[in-house]
Each structure stands twice: as C-alpha cells, then as structure tokens.
C-alpha cells in the first residue's frame, strides 16, 4: 500500500555524502563557502557527511562560524570499542559533534560486505548513542527490470528496523537510493521516486502506524543534481535528498538546497 501524507509535517533534510573526497583543509573551505549561501535561511536541514579524517577540522569550522549546517559521518561500527582495526565508534563520532551517520549505502554493501544484519546492528548502536541515522535502501537495475523494487526495499527496511522502537524511529531517515542511479547520471522519473517513497511510507505505517509514517523523513538519492532537484523535491513523498557528486561543489549543493527551500 502507498501512503501519501502531508509533507509539511515532515522535516526536509538535504545531506551531502562526500564519500572518499576532500582533505580536511578542502572540507573546511567548502563548508565556509556553503555557509555563506544560507546565513538567513532555515527552510530545511543541511548535513555534510564527511570522511572520518575530515571530521575534526570540519567540526571546528562549523563551530567557529556558528553555522546551522549539521555534521555527519559515513559509517560507524556496531560496538562501542574493541579490536576492530580501521573502524570508528559512535562515541568517537559523538565527541566531535557528529549528529548524523549514513549506514547501509550500496557501496558499503557491494564492496565491504555490509548486510541487512550489520545495518541493523549499526542502527541500534547509533540510536542508543543518541545520534541520527540515514538508512540507505535501494534496488539493482536487474531487480528493477523484473519489477521487484518494492519487495527489495521493503525487505531492506524491515531488516534494518528490527528491534527499533517507534520512539527511536524519530531519529531515523530512510534514503531511497536506487543502485542503478548512483553515480551514473540516471534518475527515475520523479513520479517513480515518489511512488517508491510512498510505498516505503506504507511499510513504516505497517510497522509503526500511520502517525509515525507521517512524520518520518524519506529522502531520495541517486544522481540528484541542480537540474532535477526541484522536480524531485516537489514530490509529495520526497522529503529531501542524499546527494553524492553534486555535494562536492558548493554552488551545486547550494542550488539543491535552494530547490528544497
């Protein structure tokens, strides 16, 4: 079942995923340039999800400016500490003022062995720490071609949200990112993105009730750019964007934020 509900009751969030781009100094320069564009605007929440090595520098710059831009990370381990060479804990992130963490991105699933189970473990740890999560779900092109998009994203969403309470859901954003659209320049028709997001809202209603579904932000991600952002973001069930390539350029990212205002 697809639910279409009052968009005004949900927070619009535009989050940039820098992936493995930008040194600390480049990150600082970027957020300073971006902050200049939005001194007097607060129509949506703006998040930059930066590489771990950039977190300290970017956090310092945002604090110094008194910017309303929020700081995000691109992953977090499900244990608080331990013998996990190369990993980062939620407490490490939290100490630097990180508020959001991306989990379940298709690149993590494809290249680094992420599964629905580990997404769920990460999510529960992130929420227990009082942080917010952006949970990515999406189908491969061959899955879309055989018409099982809704089945795939439903399964991923339900697995991610196991043992997550309705109260905790308030700190969860679902990001629908069709894998075939990430970094390819391809995007679904805005109506298709809206249909899948509406279906996901129905999944949330099934799990938590209509009011929870009504208030949950569901983003679209996958080749969102200045030239398609306004139409995508105008859809009833698209409550923001998880932006990849265009988040690396302050003018392009600012244009997407402007489209969301």
Q: In this model, does residue 2 exceed pLDDT 50?
A: no
H/E stretch holding 103 reads: strand 100-103
C-alpha closest to that of 144 among 186, 204, 203, 198? 186
pLDDT one-digit tens code per residue, 175-212: 999 999 888 888 899 999 999 999 999 999 999 999 99
| Within a domain: 3 | no
| Within a domain: 1 | no
Active site residues: 105, 177
Q: What single DSSP character describes residue 261?
A: -
| Within a domain: 168 | yes
Q: Say if CB 135 and CB 173 are below 8 A apart.
A: yes
DSSP characters over 207-236: HH-HHHHHH--EEEESS--HHHHHHHHTST
| Number of domains observed in the structure of the chain | 1
Q: In this model, does residue 156 exceed pLDDT 60?
A: yes
pLDDT one-digit tens code per residue, 75-85: 999 999 999 99
| Within a domain: 2 | no
| Within a domain: 95 | yes
Which SS3 state, helix, strand or coil, does residue 179 take? helix
Q: What CA–CA distances, in Å, run from 148 to 84, 188, 239? A: 36, 15, 23
**Spatial separation of the C-alpha atoms in residues 104 and 110, rounded to whole Å:** 10
Which CATH number does the domain housing residue 204 bear? 3.20.20.70
Domain that holds residue 34: 10-260
Which SS3 state, helix, strand or coil, does residue 46 take? strand
**In b/e form, how buried is each residue of 154-168, taking b as 16+ CB within 10 angstroms?**
bebbbbbbeebeeeb
Query: Residue 42 — very low, low, confident or very high, per pLDDT cuts 50/70/90?
Result: low
pTM: 0.95
């Amino acid at each position: 079942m697809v639910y279409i509900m009052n968009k005004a009751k949900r927070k619009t969030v535009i989050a940039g995923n820098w992936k493995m781009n930008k040194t600390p100094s480049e990150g600082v320069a970027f957020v300073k340039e971006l902050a200049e564009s939005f001194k007097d605007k607060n129509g949506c929440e703006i998040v930059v999800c930066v590489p771990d090595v950039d977190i300290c520098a970017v956090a310092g710059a945002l604090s110094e400016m008194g910017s309303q831009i929020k700081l995000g990370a691109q992953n977090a381990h499900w244990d608080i500490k331990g013998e996990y060479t190369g990993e980062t804990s939620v407490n490490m992130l939290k100490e630097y003022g990180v508020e959001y963490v991306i989990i379940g991105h298709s690149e993590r699933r494809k290249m680094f062995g992420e599964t629905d189970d580990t997404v769920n473990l990460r999510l529960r740890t992130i929420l227990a720490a009082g942080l917010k999560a952006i949970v990515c779900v999406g189908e491969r092109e061959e899955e879309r071609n055989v018409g099982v998009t809704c089945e795939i994203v439903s399964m991923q969403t339900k697995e991610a949200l196991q043992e997550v309470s309705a109260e905790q859901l308030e700190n969860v954003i679902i990001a629908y990112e069709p894998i075939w659209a990430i970094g390819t320049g391809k995007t679904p028709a805005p109506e298709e993105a809206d249909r899948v997001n509406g279906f996901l809202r129905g999944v949330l209603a099934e799990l938590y009730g209509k009011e929870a579904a009504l208030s949950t932000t569901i983003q679209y991600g996958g080749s969102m750019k200045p030239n398609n952002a306004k139409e995508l973001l105008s859809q009833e069930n698209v409550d923001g964007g998880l932006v990849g390539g265009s988040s690396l350029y302050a003018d392009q990212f600012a244009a997407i934020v402007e489209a969301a205002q």
